[in-house]
Chain A
Amino acid sequence: MTKALDVHGISRRGFVQMASGLTFVLGVGGVTAVRASALNDAPLEVSHWLSIRPDGVISIVFPATEMGQGSYSTLPQILAEELDANWDDVEIEQLNADDRRFGNPLFGGVLYTAGSTAVQAFFEPMRRAGAQARDVLLQVAARELGVAKEELRTEPSVVIAPDGSRMSYGELVALGADGVTVPDAERVNLKDKSEFRIIGKDLPRRDVFAKSTGMAEYAIDVDLPNMAYATVLRAPVEGERPVSINDAAARAVPGVLDVVSLPDGVAIVAESLWSALGARSELEVEWSEDAPARQFNSEDTLRQYAQAADDPDAEHAVWAEKGDARAAIAAADRTYGQMYLSDYAYHAQIEPMAAVASVDADGQGAEVWAGTQTQSWTTRTVMDVLGIPEENVRLNMMTMGGSFGRRTAFAQDYVRDALLSSKAVGRPVKVIWTREDDVKHGTFRPAAAQKLEAGLTADGKLDGWHHKVATPTVIGFFNPVRWASVRPNDVISMRGAESKFYGITDFRADHIITPRQARLAPYRGIGAAYTSFAAEAFMDELAEQAGRDPLDFRLDLVEDNPRGRHILEKVAEMSGWRNRGDRALGLSFAGYSSSMAAGVAEIEVDADSGDIAVKHFWAAVDAGLIVSPDNTMNQIEGGIVFGISMALREKIDIENGEVLQNNYWDYEIARANQIPQIEIYVADVDAPPVGIGEVGTPMVSAAIANAFHATTGRRLRHMPFTPDRVLGVMAS
């Protein structure tokens, strides 16, 4: 169903010769030109958004990458809707190059699938491209039938004349586009919501059948003729390098082809992964011992960050500000402050890092198969590692076995491993990281210490809010080029701290940019995964200080946000909040970017073991227009499960620069028997779509902490809420 798309010269010419049909060239404002080859072999200039062939097949480009979020199906559906295409006629073309014409407008045109932005970013351009193409088909039909375009209408993939006669899109394409003009993108007619046949309906995802039959192909599955396998023994600490390698025993293992020294490790290349793994255990490597990262100890890190958060004179960058928070707090009737901590967390995607590379014999080009969140930076990695120009990079973007931010880096070391190994042995090489490699050399959600201070009026209302987040810059590590242009504003580190769904008159959020003491990456929910924990746990404490119900206290703050008020009231109704009696319920109101979510957790605490069990979770979400309702429910539910997992267990420890955890047995993620009943309400609103991939996660941890307070009277202020911490808090 998927056809590779390559924009480089040779392939483009091939495509031109092969193609027959109408193609649409999309400029900044939409389709700007249309070319037809009709039934003859007239040359045509191919655009990459869509093409319609005379056999009726409609090809639509998928400009993002698929990691489970479903936009592989959703984005082409947006275009198909306005084209009024029969979805069964659509084939999806994965974009396999750093072609900035398809760049994500929310990331300055970089091909980057992150931040729940794909639908939000591509909704307008893909709708308009579909509408323009439909208009062109109507013009062809009008010309052929000798009627005015306005007298025609469409049903899926067919134009219908006033007399009821029907012409399929394929038939129209075969007639050619002589005399046709392309309507202006900004003025083309778009469907009214009531006319939608695809958007808002439950079309099955395109990838579900393949993923239910073992047929979906991930990077780790790619198999090429003459392919070898590689595994890498990595330096135990960031920044160290091999200083001496005794590989005699490793080379003696049957099947071993080569031992390749990498800047930060040693790769074994062998005829099978089994041989490579066996040989790796025979390697003796002496590592350098002078890297600054040897000083990294996560307990010390968190202590330092907490001191910085508590230091009124700490250097900071203002992340969000309204009014004068410090003056309001100083003048308030009462003030209250608390510190919240959170540890490093690991993505734990089930497909570990893997990539296949086939470097050309002359070293001047390469084909690469990888699953990443960015065509742009994967291309860049190949160029940088081999020192070759972009046009010599042949990329295949594979569906990912989960990512959650793991595969976003500017420089992708697993792709590098595959390239250098392939170059060394002159064969295609597949590199697979073991789970232990993936954990020990993971890139983590940063540790953070957050100090919140607020004022309260005598009648128990919020009067000034100051949120300080002491955490490093994530962008500065995983993408220094981007950091150079956005510094000091780090959305990855700070998202959520803006608390923008509340109307807080005097508000300020500061980023105290602390020294980095681990490898870092975006992680599902990015900053909101911890800033919303602190903000919403603190909100609950403030309500208690004010002697108010946590729901009422929040409702005061959403007077100017009726949509937010609606979901707060809705989740209260769903959970029976007003009549909760002694049930252990906790409320939270967070979300992600412009998507809002209100959640209520019901928990049970085992006072002997310190285990928290989430029994029930209710969520009300407003994410604007919903393109794929069923997938939306799946994503929100998955986001909630992710939130439960990270709130209860997920923690990476670092000692002397080494990650202590190894595998899922000491980095536990939520299992089937830890999953609550989950009920989700999604608001039906007339507003643009704003993303559903991460909205479920940020609210969860505070809802659990607040429910814990409801049942124990104690506060959990350090995430994750591991049994030892729970017991400690209960004994205090």
Chain B
Amino acid sequence: MGETPHRSADAGTGGTRVTQSHEWPAGASARVAEAPVSTRSPGGTGLGGGGALPRSRKFGAERAFRGLTLAAGTAVLVIIAAIAIFLVAKAVPALRANTENFWSYEGWSPNETEPKFGIGALAFGTVLSSALALLIAVPVALGIALYLSHYAPRRLGTALGFLVDLLAAVPSVVFGLWGRDVFSSPVRDFSVWLNQHFGWIPLFGGDGPFGASVMLGALVLAIMVLPIITSLSREVFLQTPTANEEAALALGATRWEMLRTAVLPYGRPGIIAAMMLGLGRALGETIALALTLGITFGISFNLIQNGGNTIAANIANAFGEANETGRGALIASGLVLFTITLIVNITARAIIYRRREFTESAA
């Protein structure tokens, strides 16, 4: 199905009459519609017998349509490049005005006459909360996916899978609101308990107040990315060839051994893709964290004391009162976030593309 009919544009279909009578689906612009009319009009000579196909036209509908799709494809590359260019263009003046080291200063006051801001604490908070969230969510999500695909009765599995898909579509602001209004009090109780009994571990130390902490943020994030990872990996698990599963069972494998030897290896690229997608969501998550974290600017591994901050949450919180330099500073922090997610995504895609020969449809 390559380029075969390229030369025979308009050959057998009656050309203009037919083309004009068709309605045009969305996306075909006026430019395309006019093309065959204008090129067809001068004479229409040269149509002979079997071998005499019309010559390939320079401005035919085929070329116009092809050009249009090429332009749309190029638009993707242009947009990605434009994101990088415009963010850099707006970030550089603010970075020049910064009187502290952008990488190491722990604080964010870019609106003063001597702007001071640093990305270190924010980037640390972003990575810490996303990593924690993924650490909690991935095992649970894989467990649910395996339950839905291989343990639950088929009808129940399908119905619950549908529900999980729906939960994956719930907007993050709803999870943020729930985390702040409902979930924070059990987490506070749990934090106090941890502090009482495990206070000697630095992670759970401190004198409070507890509650609006990295732990709350990470848990809310985990609950948020859980349906996404579950829904993707469940689909991958369902695609395991039945022959592989039955072969494992026929050789005497228990159900867990069947999952470990047939299902999990088959789905590995899909699992990696799902994890990376979840990580991307967690890294870029703004509103849920802006609502649940107690905003501070400092690098600390304490999980339960009020505090924690991320690049995205800081943008949402500080944007309201930002002046020109403040906006530039926020854009600079967004550039750092963009770079982090770009690296994560490109790595994930490279892994998936390299493993694609193993499972074509899993990714």
Genuine A/B complex: no
Name A's B-contacting residues (CB within 8 A).
none
